[in-house]
């Protein structure tokens, strides 16, 4: 178990489940790749290993992006937003980010906007 720096932990505003959403972005292009969830342990592991680690809400376990798929996320920087309730994780994405095989989790459906 890795301990999150108390100075960072004190700044986080977590959900009732102890999680913070992490927006994941390709570091050099700004492309938004996915949204993951981190608790203190996942964030600590991400900061210390340089590999993006998330908490799976469905499986109730930690997962390191790419351990099974080979599509790793090499972390370049992590930022905390002004409210302390969202992380921005800038990565070098190897391969695809989405479990569907798309480059990003936002490739599928563009929602229609009202004219006007």
Domains of the chain, each with CATH number or no CATH = 6-93 (3.10.20.810)
pTM of the model: 0.92
Give the dihedral of Cα atoms 108, 113, 115, 116; nearest 10 deg: -140
Tens digits of pLDDT across the chain (116 residues): 779 999 999 999 999 999 999 999 999 999 999 999 999 999 999 999 999 999 999 999 999 999 999 999 999 999 999 999 999 999 999 999 998 999 999 987 888 899 85
In tens, the pLDDT along 59-80 reads: 999 999 999 999 999 999 999 9
The secondary structure element, H or E, covering residue 37 is strand 32-38
């Amino acid at each position: 178990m890795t301990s999150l720096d108390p100075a960072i932990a004190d700044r986080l505003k977590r959900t009732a489940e102890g999680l913070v959403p992490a927006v994941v972005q390709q570091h050099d292009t700004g492309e938004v790749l996915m949204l993951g969830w981190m608790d203190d342990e996942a964030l600590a592991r991400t900061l210390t290993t340089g590999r993006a680690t998330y908490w799976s809400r469905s499986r109730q376990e930690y997962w390191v992006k790419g351990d099974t798929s080979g599509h790793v996320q090499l972390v370049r920087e992590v930022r905390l937003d002004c409210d302390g309730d969202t992380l921005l994780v800038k990565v070098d994405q190897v391969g695809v980010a989405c479990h569907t095989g798309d480059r990003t989790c936002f490739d599928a459906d563009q929602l229609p906007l009202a004219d006007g």
